A and B are shown apart, each in its own frame.
Chain A
Amino acid sequence: MNKSYKSILAGLFALALFTLPGLAVAADSWGLPGEEEVRFDAKVTDVLCVLSGDCPPDCGAGKRVLGLLKADGELVLPVKNGGPFTGAVADLLPYCGTTVTADGLFTVNYGVKTFAMQFVKPQEAKWRRANQFVKDWAAAHGLEAKDKKARSWFRNDETIVEIIGEQGKLGLKDKGIEP
């Protein structure tokens, strides 16, 4: 192999090293209505605070609906993260009041635009997969997030088991209707 080939290969290798971390966090298409793959900077905020001026200091400690307020004034509503049956509040709450870079999918349906966040990057920090709810649930149950029980958290969560036990899977147990 001559010197110029070696230089080209070294250059390609360096380029790959430089660009791979970016590629690794690109949003996956989920085939949603009006889907658009997006990456944007926005401030993590409590939606009720933005709209009504009712602003607790900690964005509501994870119990309120959170939003992403862009510099152009657009208030983005994240309704989903990358986990099974989970939203993005746990991913965003640690960054209340700060600017993050969010990566994922806009979807527009019935005239409503919402956001499914797949990755988040806090300032001066690395990209993270948006799946904090399952991590938190697993930790609270002494499990690893990859544990089978944690991956099926929705079948094993005590509150859900209690509610479905009372109401039935169809919610009609009190009317004597069950699957």
Chain B
Amino acid sequence: MLRVRNYLLAAAAVSLAVFLTAPGPAQAAQPKRVTVTGEIIDSWCYLSEIMWATGSAHHQCAVWCARGGVPVGILGDDEQVYIVLKMNNDPDVIGDHGILRMQSNEVVVEGDLYERDSVKYLAIDTIIDDHGIVNHSHDEFDIQPFGD
């Protein structure tokens, strides 16, 4: 009987240790609910400024980069860059996914905002509106890069 009790105590101790050390919501940061209006962008080209990186001028390149695994962002009306971690509650946002077909569109989205080490991350659960491409930057900048 004593041996059984010792086993149960040991199991309880191990369970407690696993609970305390495992990554999980208890250790996660508290997000803020936000609504963001902005353009879906290629985070690399915009932040590195290696070319004009918004609107129709950069649409093809934005598709290239999103397909190539560069994180997709949203350039908000507040001029902040949000890195998208989920779109429509789907965490599959790298490579071949729904957001790939929404590049350069102006959208209104709602979700959880996390801020960590200067980066704003957005886990979007609701696409409230999708206005398509409204930034006709090709009038001024042609096609970026290469001109074709």
B contact residues around A179 at 8 Å (CB): 138, 142-143, 148
Known: A76-B117, A107-B48, A114-B43. A170 touches B57 (CB 8 A): yes
B93 touches A63 (CB 8 A): yes
A113 touches B116 (CB 8 A): no
Query: Number of B residues whose C-beta is below 8 Å from A?
Result: 62
B binding-site residues for A, Cβ under 8 Å: 23-29, 31, 43-44, 47-50, 56-57, 59-61, 63-65, 67-71, 79-81, 83-86, 91-97, 100-101, 103-105, 112, 114, 116-121, 123, 132-133, 136, 138, 142-143, 148
Report which of B29, B47, B100, B121 forms a contact with A163, defined as CB distance below 8 A: B100
Interface assignment of A171: CB less than 8 Å from any CB of chain B: yes
A114 touches B100 (CB 8 A): no
Interface assignment of A90: CB less than 8 Å from any CB of chain B: yes
Tell me the complex Cα distance, A63–B43, Å: 16
Tell me the complex Cα distance, A108–B121, Å: 16
Report which of B24, B84, B117 forms a contact with A75, defined as CB distance below 8 A: B117
B contact residues around A79 at 8 Å (CB): 43-44, 47, 70-71
A110 touches B47 (CB 8 A): yes
Those 3 A-B pairs whose CB atoms lie nearest each other, nearest first? A87-B69, A171-B59, A86-B68
B94 touches A172 (CB 8 A): no
A74 touches B69 (CB 8 A): no
B contact residues around A108 at 8 Å (CB): 118
Tell me the complex Cα distance, A110–B78, Å: 12
Most buried by B among A32, A109, A171: A171
Tell me the complex Cα distance, A76–B104, Å: 25
B25 touches A87 (CB 8 A): no
